């Protein structure tokens, strides 16, 4: 039976079907690599066809060199069909292989290695973070739990919209239809911090064979709840659960242009890890982008 390789995280049919609805004129593509099934999303706008493996900065599996080579051979053939292709490599798996007509962009994410018992790992967190964790435990007011209940995903979306103000984003990157249906994805959990039945913070996490990926976190912006540290409470429970269940690391994701989010991740002593985005753009696509930029500027 075909399956995604270890740590594929995102390459499940249900999830890809959900995110494909975020784009117009889409076709779901699948590629057999060894005994793995890898997904991509093809979009078409007039005569411009694009391929994302996958959109939203989501990764390839943690390929072996052999399977990565097989994947690239397929992409070289597929390249003829598209004007634009985007592929994100798994962090720290930037195999040094040149692909003609493709360029590589270096990016970073934050990864917390779970190679120590929780009580030892705790000492590596910043002093401020350690104080917050102690205060959360002492006050014992928040209820922290993981859920796949549909109603919580609907409630989470409202908190996500509230967080856009803090992130200085004018419009949501993720739709209500996508977020509210994520309860259907098997390897996904929504972690919640709740006070008297009211959700204050949430984090959507994907679970691979040996890693956890903090995909999307949001916290209600309200001075009344600030000193309860709900975002800290959720992140700590995600880490604790991962350690207790034998996961090797927590990938906290990228923090491009979000200094506050970056500082939050660094306070957990997460390592900055490089990964690469591989991009193909045809001459026609580059020309159209340049024309578009002239009108925007």
Which residue spans within the chain are E strands per DSSP?
26-33, 36-45, 48-53, 84-88, 102-113, 143-147, 188-195, 198-207, 211-219, 249-253, 271-281
User: Do residues 215 and 123 share a domain?
Assistant: yes
CA 204 – CA 202 distance, rounded (Å): 7
Is the per-residue pLDDT at 4 higher than 60? no
The number of folded domains in the chain is 2
Domain of residue 283: give its range: 13-108+274-296
Task: Read off the pLDDT of residues 197-209 as tens digits, 9 standing for 90 and up.
Answer: 999 999 999 999 8
Query: What pLDDT, on a 0 to 100 scale, did the predictor assign at position 139?
Result: 95
Q: Specify whether the CB–CB gap between 28 and 38 falls below 8 A.
A: no
Of 98 and 26, the one with more pLDDT? 26
Tell me whether residue 130 is in a domain.
yes
Task: Read off the pLDDT of residues 237-272 as tens digits, 9 standing for 90 and up.
Answer: 999 999 999 999 999 998 776 677 889 999 999 999
Tell me what the mean pLDDT of segment 223-247 comes to.
96
CA 201 – CA 76 distance, rounded (Å): 43
Query: What pLDDT, on a 0 to 100 scale, did the predictor assign at position 267?
Result: 96
Residue 112 vs residues 108, 109, 242, 245: alpha-carbon distances, Å: 13, 10, 11, 15
Of 159 and 35, the one with more pLDDT? 159
Residue 222 pLDDT level (bands cut at 50, 70, 90): confident
CA neighbours closer than 13 Å in the CB half-sphere of residue 38: 29
Lowest mean pLDDT among 63-77, 132-146, 150-164, 206-220: 63-77
What is the arrangement of strands in the sheet containing 198-207, beginning at the earlier edge strand?
26-33, 36-45, 48-53, 84-88, 271-281, 102-113, 249-253, 211-219, 198-207, 188-195, 143-147
Query: What pLDDT, on a 0 to 100 scale, did the predictor assign at position 143?
Result: 98
Query: What pLDDT, on a 0 to 100 scale, did the predictor assign at position 94?
Result: 63
Query: What pLDDT, on a 0 to 100 scale, did the predictor assign at position 251?
Result: 95
Is the per-residue pLDDT at 1 higher than 50? no
Enter the tokens of residue 250.
């927590």
Residues 6+ apart with CB under 8 A from 109: 91, 251, 252, 253, 254, 255, 272, 273, 275
User: Do residues 68 and 148 share a domain?
Assistant: no
| CATH assignment of the domain containing 208 | 3.40.630.30
Q: Is 122 helix (H, G, I), strand (E, B) or coil?
A: helix
Residue 68 pLDDT level (bands cut at 50, 70, 90): confident
Task: Read off the pLDDT of residues 149-180 as tens digits, 9 standing for 90 and up.
Answer: 999 999 999 999 988 877 667 688 899 999 99
Tell me whether residue 136 is in a domain.
yes
User: Do residues 216 and 285 share a domain?
Assistant: no
Tell me whether residue 256 is in a domain.
no
Query: What pLDDT, on a 0 to 100 scale, did the predictor assign at position 293?
Result: 77
Enter the tokens of residue 113.
């290695």
Tell me whether residue 266 is in a domain.
no
Enter the tokens of residue 159.
């908190």
Tell me whether residue 289 is in a domain.
yes
Mean pLDDT of the chain: 90
Tell me what the mean pLDDT of segment 15-21 comes to.
96
Task: Read off the pLDDT of residues 72-114 as tens digits, 9 standing for 90 and up.
Answer: 889 988 899 999 999 999 887 766 667 778 898 988 999 999 9
User: Do residues 124 and 226 share a domain?
Assistant: yes
Instruction: Report the DSSP beta bridge partners of residue 108.
Output: 274
Of 41 and 100, the one with more pLDDT? 41
CA 261 – CA 272 distance, rounded (Å): 13
Q: Specify whether the CB–CB gap between 250 and 242 falls below 8 A.
A: yes
Query: What pLDDT, on a 0 to 100 scale, did the predictor assign at position 238?
Result: 98
Tell me what the mean pLDDT of segment 211-227 comes to.
92
User: Do residues 121 and 167 share a domain?
Assistant: yes
User: Do residues 93 and 201 share a domain?
Assistant: no
Sign, CA torsion 124/129/134/140:
negative
pTM for the model stands at 0.91
Tell me whether residue 260 is in a domain.
no
């Amino acid at each position: 039976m075909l399956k995604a390789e270890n740590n594929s995280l995102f390459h499940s049919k249900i999830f890809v079907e959900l995110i494909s609805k975020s784009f117009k004129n889409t076709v779901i593509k699948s590629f057999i690599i060894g005994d793995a099934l890898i997904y991509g999303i093809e979009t078409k706008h007039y005569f411009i066809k694009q391929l994302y493996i996958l959109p939203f900065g989501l990764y390839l599996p943690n390929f072996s060199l052999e399977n990565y080579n097989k994947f690239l051979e397929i992409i070289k053939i597929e390249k003829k069909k598209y004007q634009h292709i985007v592929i994100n490599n798994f962090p720290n798996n930037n195999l040094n292989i040149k692909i003609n007509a493709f360029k590589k962009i270096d990016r970073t994410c934050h990864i917390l290695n779970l190679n120590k018992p929780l009580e030892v790992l705790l000492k590596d967190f910043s002093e401020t973070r350690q104080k917050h964790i102690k205060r959360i435990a002492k006050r014992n007011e928040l209820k922290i739990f993981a859920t796949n209940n549909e109603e919580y995903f609907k409630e989470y979306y409202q908190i996500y919209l509230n967080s856009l103000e803090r992130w200085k984003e004018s419009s949501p990157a993720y739709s209500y239809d996508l977020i509210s249906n994520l309860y259907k994805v098997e390897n996904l959990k929504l972690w919640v911090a709740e006070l008297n039945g009211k959700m204050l913070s949430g984090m959507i996490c994907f679970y691979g064979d040996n890693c956890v990926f903090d995909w999307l976190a949001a916290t209600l912006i309200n001075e009344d709840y600030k000193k309860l540290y709900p975002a800290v409470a959720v992140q700590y429970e995600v880490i604790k659960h991962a350690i207790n269940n034998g996961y090797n690391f927590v990938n906290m994701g990228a923090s491009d242009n979000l200094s506050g989010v970056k500082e939050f991740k660094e306070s957990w002593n997460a390592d900055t890890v490089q990964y690469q985005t591989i991009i193909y753009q045809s001459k026609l696509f580059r020309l159209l982008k340049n024309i578009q930029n002239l009108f925007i500027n």
